[in-house]
Amino acid sequence: MLHGWDNFFIMAGTAAATLIGLLFVAVTVGSGFSKSSIEHGTRGYLTPTLIRFSGVLFLSLAVLAPWPSAWPIGIILGLGGIAGLAYQIEVIVARRKVGLVFLDWHGWLPYVGVPALGAGSLIVGAVGLLIERPIAPYAIAAAAVLLLFAGIYGAWDITLWMIKNREKT
């Protein structure tokens, strides 16, 4: 069912792996901040962004593996989507605890809405694989794109946060 999608998932996985590497560069650049600044930034921006990129990398690698049928990959992706939704709830709770509350939809949409939609799309794609629906590859690809975009937005905010906080230190 995923035949013909190899190039897409190779590109998505490569993009995710490259962006993970760039996050490590960002962490190195930001290593001069005070401990409390690093903790707030890590909880609020860095870890969720890293998890989103890692999710796309894992999704891409899992899809590209030569599975004997659609069942194993459907179950793996379905569990990944459920874990993504659970993690998204954890991120919302953690951000509230450290005072990173989004007051308007401009903050809510890229940090809550898009990742949740990506995880939901992954679940839809996994179910589609299990029941052999032609929409499945499109839903899985949409999940990869949504999570990449959410991660890119998060990485951009990490960069802006580091620039803003660099001036204070």
CA atoms within 13 A on the CB side of 145: 8
Q: How confident is the model over 74-99, as pLDDT tens digits?
A: 999 999 999 999 999 988 887 777 66
Give whole-number Cα distances, 129 to 35, 53, 100, 111, 143, in Å. 45, 23, 37, 28, 14
Confidence of residue 39 (pLDDT cuts 50, 70, 90): low
What is the reported pLDDT for 1? 67
Cβ–Cβ < 8 Å for 114, 152 = no
Give whole-number Cα distances, 94 to 54, 70, 97, 106, in Å. 19, 36, 5, 19
User: Global pTM?
Assistant: 0.87
As a whole number, the mean pLDDT across the chain is 86
What is the reported pLDDT for 40? 58
Q: How confident is the model over 5-28, as pLDDT tens digits?
A: 999 999 999 999 999 998 888 777
